Structure 1
Amino acid sequence: MAEQLHAGIAEYKIGQEPFTLAALGLGSCVATVIYDAQHHIGGISHIMLPDSTAFSAAQITNPAKFANLALPQMVTELRAAGATGPLTAKIAGGAQMFKTTSKQLNIGQRNIMAVQATLAELAIPIIAQHVGGTQGRTMIVDLADFSTMIRIVHEGSIYI
């Protein structure tokens, strides 16, 4: 079995085959994996918040926490690590973990929209996603072939 690189909350990891990448315990957070199929290299981020615009530069101590900062930074590091081919993405998470009627408080949906918008700005197509709902998830990605398993709390596993 390949060694697994885990991206904790507000982290991202970059690896190359034979590694696998994982983001465990996704609730309202969104895991985003960006992959170069030519070189079997990819990165996975565990995004906690949609964007950094409500914070001053001095308040942002961890850019990996925010979709609008983490994803461009991860792409830059992927390119520096040898990802020269076209990039594609898969995303998972963004659950609404608490009952609320306020759209402002649905951080999961806001995270999904921010990740989708940031990937669109980076011209990286999302080729699969498992997002929303009310269940937590784990995402595990094999860098050999970009196969992606989503474990859903109390529901089992699927592949996207």
Structure 2
Amino acid sequence: MNTCMAGDTITTIGLGSCVGIVLYERTKNIAGLVHIMLPDSTKIRQNQNKLKFADTGIQALVEELEKQGLSRKNMIAKIAGGAKMFQFSSDTAMGNIGEKNVEAVREVLKQYGIKIVSEDVGLNYGRTIVFDPVTKDLTVVTAGKQTHII
């Protein structure tokens, strides 16, 4: 998890089944990003790294952005990642973790009343994302595909 202000960008590299969540307000040049790896912290014992879970990672990011002057009721989100990186003969939990991550992120953001304004999720390839808090552009870079902005 990290935050940035005007003059900087914020990025995360190598989103496969993981999901990158960017939170910001339309009228402020501050943003935050958390890179989550798993959907639910309650399913893992001794989970010291709360940032790797959708439920606790998003909570930490919301709280940090509130400390920096953003209002939860004005926050909006852009998300990317959640790919199905490996093909299994059956739809095992491991083979479907990207989809589970995306579902968990959507649910947690809904609980916080934070609207997702754009997303690039699913499919079968990894992503790197870069967010500019001034333009509000989330640049999505994928190997072998055209870079695009959401």
Verify same fold: TM over 0.5. Answer: yes
State the TM bucket, normalised to the shorter chain. over 0.9
Unaligned runs of 5+ in 1: 1-11
2:69 is aligned to: 82
2:4 is aligned to: 15
1:12-53: CA deviations, max 9, x gaps? 101111211101111110000001222211101110101111
Aligned length: 147
Percent sequence identity is 36
2:85 is aligned to: 97
1:112 match: secondary structure: helix
Query: Which has the larger helix fraction?
Result: 2
Query: Which has the larger strand fraction?
Result: 1
Give 1:98 deviation, angstroms.
0.5
Match for residue 132 of structure 1 among 122, 127, 130: 122
How does the TM-score come out when normalised to structure 1? Answer: 0.88
How does the TM-score come out when normalised to structure 2? Answer: 0.94
Give 1:103 deviation, angstroms.
4.4
1:107-131: CA deviations, max 9, x gaps? 1001000100000001000000000
2:44 is aligned to: 55
CA distance in structure 1 between the aligned counterparts of 2:143 and 2:21, rounded to whole angstroms = 19
Q: Is 1:27–1:93's contact at 8 Å kept on the other side of the alignment?
A: yes
1:64 is aligned to: 51
Q: Is 1:37–1:145's contact at 8 Å kept on the other side of the alignment?
A: no
Give 1:55 deviation, angstroms.
2.5
2:34 is aligned to: 45
Unaligned runs of 5+ in 2: none
